Structure 1
Amino acid sequence: MTEGPYRRNAFISYSHQQDVPLAAALQRGLHRLARPWTRRQTVSVFRDTTSLGAASDLGGAILQELRGSEYFVLIASPAAARSRWVREEVGFWIANRPMEHFLIAVSDGTISWDPDAGDWDWDRTDCLPEVLRGAFPREPLWVDLAAVRAAGRYSLRDAPFRDAVATLLAPLRGQTKDEVDSEDLRQRRTAVRMLRAAVTALSALLALSLIAGVVAWQQRGQALDRARTSASQALAARALEAAQSDPRKAAQFALYAYAVQPTGESTQALGRAVAANDNVAEHFQPGSEAQADWHGVGKLAPTRVAVSRDGNMLAYYTDFDRDLPALDSPRHVHLYDIGARASLPPIEGVEWPLGGGVLEMSRDGRFLVLERSYNEFDLWDVSQRKVMRSFTASEGRRLSEAHKGLKAFALSPDGQRVAAAYYVPPAEDDANGDITFRLAVWDAATGRRLTDESAAPERVSLTFDGDGRLHAFDQEAGTVRSLARDSVSWSTPRKVANLPDVRDRRAGLSADGTKAYLGPGTQDAGDQIWDLDNGRRLAAGDDQGLVRALPEGNGPVTVVTGKSVAAYDSALGDRRVLGTFGFDVQSVSASADGRWVAAGSLDGAVSLFSTSSVQGGTTVPNDPHVSAAELTRDARVAARGVAGGMDLWSVTGTGVRRLGHIAHQPQSPGVAGSVGVVVSADGSRAVLGEESRLSLWNLRDGTQTGTGKDYGASVVPLCFLPDGVHVAAVVRGSLQVLDTRSWQTTQTVAGKHEPVVVSADGTTVAGVSPDGVSVWRLTGENRLALVRKAAVVGTVSMSIVISGKGEKVATVNGDGRITLVDVATGHTATSTGTTHSGAGRPVFGEDASVLVEATGTGKQAVLQFWDSVTGEARGSWSWADQGSGSLTPSPAASAARLFTGADGTVLAFAPDGTLVRRPLSTATWRKILCDLVPDPLPRSDYDRYLKGLDVPAPCRPE
């Protein structure tokens, strides 16, 4: 692309009271991003730096700049909406310049477009001036900079700000955002190549200029490091963006971002990609990222999926099959065992009609029906990979319109009967005859037609229930009827009471035939679910998409809206997005209970989803059913008062393990949080701390050893020292080492330290005093050795947490600010945001790369992440995104809480009370994403972001 003449071609309008720093940073970013370093900027941005007086009119210089500008950038906020000068500048643009060149960057407030009104939703939008009411024929380009402004991070090295600048710069330069990204990276790679050339030249003069060569080599390394950092940030930004539209691509971009450079942004991208893939069991087929039209007008390359009703088997086919190098290659139907999570050998050498056709499995997945040509289909034995019977409903090839293939189809659970509704062409010698519509049932074993009759065109829905009874819903007449398993006579059609006229709606039957879903009609935009037996509407959606699978009973309902697949409860009320695609969803199938959902998109992508979390957490054994209320102070032991004493369990990422029973009744029965229990490494001894008393117990027989000691004030046991005899404890705010044989103090640490915590591996102790944070290591001499002291933000620390192996410590002060301390180096960092009150203390991920806090209750619960090195906020997302374990959390669920188990893993209790291990480490995130998307990045994406950098595929087999 050649550089155009230099001119001012963009104008920034903003509130001088609020957004001067943001406007200045945005101006710099638009000038610098993707600008060749040897040239002046190709885009010039004007920003008025003065505030006009109260009696002034719009300045002549500003009017001149507005007349000469090709684009208008409004930094929108409630303050800007109230500004007289912003309104006048916007009004001048509306009257004199094209609105398709009007761009919006939101720095504060709320913005919402109403697609039905074709205008902003002015009841919700508070950051735009009223002069923009009705000014746009369609929704304009806008970006959200509220989080960037709140964080005050205005560097192009910061992924969110860089992504917003690239989005705004793209139309100014007449490019796509990908081209802007590519140009910026190309300029950086040019600098790298020039530095490499300089190194080569200097190497030839090594004997005369060794020092210069060393310096050049260092500069080369720095340039390469900068190039890798830039590429990592660009990939991380793309991953965060793709998480909303294509989780598979988000996983690939995040993996490569981390492989290029393990930055805070790439760590954030990994975690967000895992959250986006929370309900993904498997990505089978990547999308081609192109909607091919190979077969004439109105025909799309087909992708079809089918899930057996028992949820154990999946079949799919696609014209975009990556295993087939050419269109004339023998086609496959791919098979996947959902229960075993394993791909099976495909059914090979099959055919399907142009545009696709019926693909359906029997209830147990033993049989499969494939429409091979219009109105012709085969019944396959899946295990033997052979055709059992071929059927011809009518001469589909003679129909004048190829789309008139099978319109409704059903396969009995045992594969013994098939039913279909289809078109029949007129007789060959009847040129003026009409195409008719028929409904037939066949015996699969013999191929004989059991019934054959005329039906209402395209208004019939069919399903076999679990007992093999066939149900038919006739929309034209509003009736239902059934055909018993061994019968050839239909029951008398029964009119569904209270059912409105549904002839203009798309309809379907539940897996058991008792309910029907009705798609949006001309008078009602929402979905409906009807009880066909009792003639009453069970649920109505609010324009949420199109119901594509209705389960037996009250399982999750599958709804498709464009590119997304979502699960709703039986009342169409509790929505959870299972997954999204880069193109519209073309085919969907679900198990009878609604748990397993497969979908395929128009560009050939195929994925399998679960309506319960797959990636967000792993349920661990909890046979004694311990609850959050039974956890002791450090949450690593559970204590339950029972008849004759107290039962103790160790709580870890592998499950709840019994420690033993002690013959002691707690002073506050049922309130384990008031109890402190520490257990020796061999599990034979436990020290119990309750209020002011410490006592030693033999866990093998449940008896007390010695008499214990009452200290007359608060006392908290912390951990056993390596010898299994001495313990560390806080006595009256003083950190001490005690001999459990005599309860004599063998070491007292100077100063008052409270609170105090111990790492899960029992090697490190950390406490807070008025002087800051102190960290000690436990020594083989049964002492605490001070290894680090560090200052913290604020004078009062409300809580302190430590990583599982003692590498990092974090404190939270009274204002919610976090101080992070690296124990090895002494490096400290302060958070860019604050924690939330009442949510419990944060925890470190298993590899200490992130600090995580859970806050809120029920569906409002979120996870907030911080970078454990820089303290920067790394985003937040719904607790449900990371696997609540059920579609509908209990309304009475307690506040979300994370805690560290005895083995250093991060645990939580799901709303239904199950104990869940949370994947909160980069190593775990990378494994999850590599299992889902092991493929290398496509060459086009690799060249765009990584050309010139040697980056191996992150998911290479070991």
Structure 2
Amino acid sequence: MRRPADYDAFLSYSYAVDRPLAAAVQRGLHTLARHWYQARALRVFRDQTSLSANPDLWDSIETALRASRHFILMASPEAAASPWVRREVAHWQAEGTRETFHIVLTSGEIVWGDGDFDWERTTALPPGLRGWFAAEPQWVNLGWARADTQLSLLNGRFRDEVATLAAAVHGLPKDVFDGEDVRRHRRSVRLRRAAVSGLALLTVLTTLLGLLAWRQQNTTERQRDQAVARELATRAAELGDRDPRLARLLSLAAWRIAPLPETRAGLLAAAGRPGRAVIESPGATAVAVSPDGRLIAVGGGSVRLWDTATRRPVGEPFAAGDVRTLGFSADGGRLVVGSDEVRVYDVATRTAVGSPAPLPEGLPGVGTLRTVAISPDGATIAVGETFGDLGLWDVETGTRLFAPFETVPPHIPSAAPVAAFSPDGKTLAALNPHDGKLRFWDLATGRPRGAPVAAYPRQTTALAWPSLAYRPDGMRIATAGVDGVVRVWDPATGKSVGAPLTGGGRTRQEKELPSVAFSADGALLAAGNADGTVSLWRGDTLEPVGDPLAGHGGVVGAVAFGPGGLLVSAGADGTVRLWDVDARLRRVTPLPADTGPLYSVAWSPDGATIAAGGHGAAGLGARGAPVSCRIDGWALCLALEGRSVMVGGGTSAHPYTRWSDPGGHDGTLLLWDAATRRRLPNPAEGRSAIANSVVFGLDGRVVFATGVGADLDTRGTVTRWSAAQQVPIGIASVELSGPAWASALSPDGRLLAVGGDNTGTADGPRTDPVVLIDPVDGRRVASFPEAGAVYAVAFSPDGRTLAAATETGAVGLWDVRSRTRTGELAGHSGPAGAVAYAPDGATVATAGADGTIRLWDSETGEQVGVPLRGHGGTVFSVAFSPDGTLLASGGGDNSVRLWEVASRRQVNERFWGHALPVRSVAFSPDGRTLASAGLDRAVRLWDVGHTVDPAAALCAQAGGSLTEEEWDQHIPDIGHRPVC
């Protein structure tokens, strides 16, 4: 279904080859025939411009396609082969028209034949267009302009071609369109001249008119500044991680020029990107990071060392040759270099140690490329030859120790074997492309360990070779083949672990080198891809960790980790890129816990302690019998001593746990020291069986756990715990007719609100689903009726209003003093399961099963703007940051997202880490950390410190400010000002 047109045209193109030309065409369409009062003559969608802050790429592209009146294909062989372009063209064929489909030829051939394109000769169009056009379409030829990086409408030929395209989109004949453009230009000139004359006249008018003119000038300058700032924010987002320094500084400049909601959203998005710096290094084919992280070695036509902190070269290049492999010794004192000769260098002096490893006797010396690995102690190297040999050499003496692989004449050049030493230096792993097998050797005896493992298809013709890397604990080894597939193996058994991992794929095996590396702690596994990205997986479970890192404009042929979350990658685009993946490392390791699913997480007021509630690690069934229940939405399913108790629509599923301790259920309430991430002792008795909600008291010394009682009493229970001693100090039955789902403490600490079921029981009537109790003695103070179960409650900051999110989708508003219902927030099409007040009380956020987040004016009860969309399922939780500028959300798609409230934009790359739905999110009191709890039994901490002062964070990341020359180049219409 097509939406009302938000865009006049959609640009589809190959990002790899036509990005500059596509940008020039977009600017031209924006400018031609523009009225003086218009920002743009046409609104043209181009993915890198219009998707700046939305990580959900295809959904956004599809939305833009449906909201566009015309489709412009920038045709080239690369576009014809692009899966993205093909998908966009197919979408337009299905929902658009031929009359609104326009073609711009940038390279290749387009030839019309008898009733269709001549597909034998046409190379620039995707095959899906075969037979779609009934008559020959017209197209614009910009093949001549592809190499021009300074295209503008001042180029007459380019202006003429763009005018042809613009006329078609405007729906005007070319001559009429040209005349209209000239007419508008002349009118603009006349208006400018009239304005100048008017300003001259105003100088002699009264002081009042002068003041009005001054105010008007300020308004004009403010409007100009806002327009420039928005354009800078767009350009910064388009640059992204391709030029991280410039992108950050342009984001800062946009904010300094005009502090708008959208420019602040740009600040937040830029500060959260992982790209940190770019080192220009044409021909780079290998990288290595010293163990202390201070140096980066880059190999290509030679080797050069770079200072990690300053990104400046250290000394002069050395080791000239076609360098393909590099490796530091464990102490960082030596660097081994593999090219047409293999040498070991002293890092401090950059001079060779010992003699080069000679070629085995009988092998030709011309055209030989060699792989190399260095042992942890730096004493031994393993050398692979393009003729198939693999030998071990003593670094000091140059003596060949033994040869795991040896070839016999005739010697045919092909891919070289690759090797890796185990972290303890006792085992050598080697992968031979000649037979595709992975082998292990005991270095003490020189004998093989186990049988060879068939890892990849036999490869004898390509001159690229695979890659392999040990996990630092030596328990796993990863291999990357020239087919782009990463596999992980258990060195002890020789068996593969998990399913093969795929990244960007490889199509030109003879040139494209695969790459794979583990982080220093083994938490992450990285692989370079042919599409210019770097994929990351967990080092233990092999689950993907976030979206691939995107920034390179060509194949990523080398990756290497350093300490502190540093990742370095080298690409065929001639750049070496530095990434900060510390946040992704944090995602991999949740807070230590041994429990069932978690439903709630909270911080103590001083930020020192984190509490989480959920199912216990022991179960809820008969002794020795599995519990056949699971969470379904906000509902529960319990098994009680051999009989099922269905609560709130739960469904039967696989068990979580089994009964173990009749006196309590371990793990219902969990506490951690936030600074050390250390688990605090478990509460030992008198606990709830299930804690659906946890809330700290105002002084942080008490934790309230709300849920189902230890005897599986489904009427709802609140347990007061001493946070310091981890013992219960009070238990209250809420007297609901079903489980208690939610709780909230009033700002003055005098009331605890509890929300739950009101479905009624066999031996009792329906009850009010909202109950107010005294948090000290558990005494019932009041109750509020609602039409259905209540899944979330929240007090306004002044404590006068209580909001209750219900299964009907409405959020009831209650006056706490008069106990009267004052209104409701109605908009969700399914159950509303989350509600939160902004710190200033002006805004209420709600979320629910319809997958939307809605913002409301707390005074009027009116919805503010359109719903926030992004989660691929139910949104279970929302929380405002302490300053109210950000909103966090957790959803059924297992993701955590951040939204800038004023601009209503998502400003983070989705936080992936949870393997199951995220049920609760909470900001730390200082706003620098976000905690999330999920059904995967994990509490994860996300570093959001950059959001507290994004400008300061960007200045620190960029390491400086825009120079005057850079400012004049990128912001010529406004005088230079410092951004840091």
Same fold judged by TM-score > 0.5? Answer: yes
Deviations 1:458-480 (A, max 9, x none): 54324252236667666568899
Counterpart of 1:411?
A: 374
Task: Verify: 1:906 aligned to 2:924, yes or no.
Answer: no
Task: Say if 2:751 and 2:774, in contact at 8 Å, map to a contact too.
Answer: yes
Counterpart of 1:869?
A: 902
Once residues 713 and 528 of structure 1 are traced to their aligned partners in structure 2, the CA distance between those partners, rounded to angstroms, is: 49
Once residues 819 and 541 of structure 1 are traced to their aligned partners in structure 2, the CA distance between those partners, rounded to angstroms, is: 37
Once residues 395 and 823 of structure 2 are traced to their aligned partners in structure 1, the CA distance between those partners, rounded to angstroms, is: 79
Q: What does 1:67-78 align with in structure 2 at a 5 Å threshold?
A: none
| Alpha-carbon distance change, 116 to 616 in structure 1, aligned in 2, over 3 angstroms | farther
Q: Which runs of 5+ in 2 are unaligned?
A: 12-25, 44-69, 76-85, 111-118, 144-157, 167-185, 471-475, 507-511, 605-609, 617-660, 709-713, 756-766
Task: Say if 1:470 and 1:485, in contact at 8 Å, map to a contact too.
Answer: yes
**Aligned residue type for 2:227:** S
Task: Verify: 1:916 aligned to 2:940, yes or no.
Answer: yes
CA RMSD after TM alignment = 6.9
| Alpha-carbon distance change, 284 to 244 in structure 1, aligned in 2, over 3 angstroms | closer
| Alpha-carbon distance change, 223 to 676 in structure 1, aligned in 2, over 3 angstroms | same
Q: Secondary structure at the match of 1:566?
A: strand
- The Cα of 1:414 is off from its aligned counterpart by 1.4
Counterpart of 1:838?
A: 874
Q: Secondary structure at the match of 1:226?
A: helix
| Alpha-carbon distance change, 359 to 812 in structure 1, aligned in 2, over 3 angstroms | closer
Counterpart of 1:261?
A: 258
My pick for the range that moved more, 765-774 or 261-270, is 765-774
**Aligned residue type for 1:305:** V
Counterpart of 1:315?
A: 296
Counterpart of 1:443?
A: 394
| Alpha-carbon distance change, 800 to 34 in structure 1, aligned in 2, over 3 angstroms | farther
**Aligned residue type for 1:233:** R
The one of 592, 598, 613 aligned to 1:638: 613
The one of 784, 801, 813 aligned to 2:835: 801
Identity %: 16
Task: Say if 1:596 and 1:608, in contact at 8 Å, map to a contact too.
Answer: yes
Instruction: State the TM-score, normalized to the length of structure 2.
Output: 0.59
The one of 529, 533, 540 aligned to 1:560: 529
**Aligned residue type for 2:345:** L
Counterpart of 2:305?
A: 333
Q: What does 1:582-621 align with in structure 2 at a 5 Å threshold?
A: 582-585=552-555, 587-590=557-560, 597-602=567-572, 605-609=575-579, 613-614=583-584, 621=591
Q: What does 1:200-211 align with in structure 2 at a 5 Å threshold?
A: 209-211=206-208
Counterpart of 1:465?
A: 421
Counterpart of 1:519?
A: 482
The one of 452, 461, 473 aligned to 1:504: 461
| Alpha-carbon distance change, 386 to 831 in structure 1, aligned in 2, over 3 angstroms | same
| Alpha-carbon distance change, 139 to 718 in structure 1, aligned in 2, over 3 angstroms | farther
Counterpart of 2:884?
A: 848
Q: Secondary structure at the match of 1:408?
A: strand
**Aligned residue type for 1:767:** A
- The Cα of 1:823 is off from its aligned counterpart by 5.8
| Alpha-carbon distance change, 579 to 463 in structure 1, aligned in 2, over 3 angstroms | same
Deviations 1:798-847 (A, max 9, x none): 35522463443123589776552456999961324567763314333454
| Alpha-carbon distance change, 22 to 264 in structure 1, aligned in 2, over 3 angstroms | same
| Alpha-carbon distance change, 486 to 875 in structure 1, aligned in 2, over 3 angstroms | closer
Task: Say if 1:565 and 1:577, in contact at 8 Å, map to a contact too.
Answer: no
- The Cα of 1:855 is off from its aligned counterpart by 3.4
- The Cα of 1:306 is off from its aligned counterpart by 1.0
Q: What does 1:132-171 align with in structure 2 at a 5 Å threshold?
A: none
| Alpha-carbon distance change, 133 to 368 in structure 1, aligned in 2, over 3 angstroms | farther
| Alpha-carbon distance change, 203 to 457 in structure 1, aligned in 2, over 3 angstroms | same
Deviations 1:106-149 (A, max 9, x none): xxxxxxx9x99965364xx9xx98228998999999xxxxxxxx
| Alpha-carbon distance change, 345 to 135 in structure 1, aligned in 2, over 3 angstroms | closer
| Alpha-carbon distance change, 529 to 651 in structure 1, aligned in 2, over 3 angstroms | closer
Counterpart of 1:391?
A: 355
Q: Secondary structure at the match of 2:288?
A: strand
| Alpha-carbon distance change, 80 to 751 in structure 1, aligned in 2, over 3 angstroms | closer
Once residues 688 and 98 of structure 1 are traced to their aligned partners in structure 2, the CA distance between those partners, rounded to angstroms, is: 65
Once residues 839 and 133 of structure 1 are traced to their aligned partners in structure 2, the CA distance between those partners, rounded to angstroms, is: 49
Task: Say if 1:509 and 1:550, in contact at 8 Å, map to a contact too.
Answer: yes
Task: Verify: 1:120 aligned to 2:77, yes or no.
Answer: no
| Alpha-carbon distance change, 815 to 862 in structure 1, aligned in 2, over 3 angstroms | closer
Task: Say if 1:246 and 1:582, in contact at 8 Å, map to a contact too.
Answer: no
Q: What does 1:26-105 align with in structure 2 at a 5 Å threshold?
A: 33=31, 81=93, 86-87=97-98
Instruction: State the TM-score, normalized to the length of structure 1.
Output: 0.60
Task: Say if 2:254 and 2:263, in contact at 8 Å, map to a contact too.
Answer: yes
Task: Verify: 1:220 aligned to 2:217, yes or no.
Answer: yes
Once residues 929 and 37 of structure 1 are traced to their aligned partners in structure 2, the CA distance between those partners, rounded to angstroms, is: 37
**Aligned residue type for 1:444:** V
**Aligned residue type for 1:172:** V
Once residues 923 and 268 of structure 1 are traced to their aligned partners in structure 2, the CA distance between those partners, rounded to angstroms, is: 13
Counterpart of 1:672?
A: 691
Q: Secondary structure at the match of 2:417?
A: strand
The one of 379, 382, 385 aligned to 2:345: 379
Q: What does 1:476-875 align with in structure 2 at a 5 Å threshold?
A: 485=443, 501-505=458-462, 506-508=464-466, 510-511=468-469, 518-520=481-483, 544-545=505-506, 548-550=514-516, 556=525, 558-567=527-536, 578-585=548-555, 587-590=557-560, 597-602=567-572, 605-609=575-579, 613-614=583-584, 621-622=591-592, 627-629=597-599, 638=613, 644=663, 648=669, 661=683, 664-666=686-688, 669=689, 671-673=690-692, 679-684=697-702, 699=722, 702=727, 732=768, 740=776, 743=779, 757-758=793-794, 765-767=801-803, 798-799=832-833, 801-803=835-837, 805-807=839-841, 808-812=843-847, 819-821=854-856, 829-832=864-867, 838-857=874-893, 861-862=894-895, 867-869=900-902, 872=904, 874=905
Task: Verify: 1:306 aligned to 2:306, yes or no.
Answer: no
Task: Say if 2:741 and 2:792, in contact at 8 Å, map to a contact too.
Answer: no
Q: Secondary structure at the match of 1:544?
A: coil
- The Cα of 1:507 is off from its aligned counterpart by 2.2
Counterpart of 1:934?
A: 959
- The Cα of 1:561 is off from its aligned counterpart by 0.8
Once residues 494 and 612 of structure 2 are traced to their aligned partners in structure 1, the CA distance between those partners, rounded to angstroms, is: 53
- The Cα of 1:895 is off from its aligned counterpart by 1.8
Once residues 853 and 132 of structure 2 are traced to their aligned partners in structure 1, the CA distance between those partners, rounded to angstroms, is: 41
| Alpha-carbon distance change, 313 to 910 in structure 1, aligned in 2, over 3 angstroms | farther
Q: Secondary structure at the match of 1:213?
A: helix
Once residues 550 and 131 of structure 1 are traced to their aligned partners in structure 2, the CA distance between those partners, rounded to angstroms, is: 46
**Aligned residue type for 2:958:** V
| Alpha-carbon distance change, 201 to 640 in structure 1, aligned in 2, over 3 angstroms | same
- The Cα of 1:303 is off from its aligned counterpart by 6.7
Q: Secondary structure at the match of 2:263?
A: helix
Counterpart of 1:351?
A: 318
Q: What does 1:883-898 align with in structure 2 at a 5 Å threshold?
A: 883-885=911-913, 893-898=915-920
Q: Secondary structure at the match of 1:840?
A: strand
- The Cα of 1:544 is off from its aligned counterpart by 0.8
- The Cα of 1:612 is off from its aligned counterpart by 7.9
Counterpart of 1:130?
A: 132
Deviations 1:153-203 (A, max 9, x none): xxxxxxxxxxxxxxx999716999xxxxxxxxxx9x999999999999799
| Alpha-carbon distance change, 739 to 636 in structure 1, aligned in 2, over 3 angstroms | closer
| Alpha-carbon distance change, 942 to 734 in structure 1, aligned in 2, over 3 angstroms | same
Q: Matched residue pairs, number? A: 777
| Alpha-carbon distance change, 830 to 37 in structure 1, aligned in 2, over 3 angstroms | closer
| Alpha-carbon distance change, 138 to 386 in structure 1, aligned in 2, over 3 angstroms | same
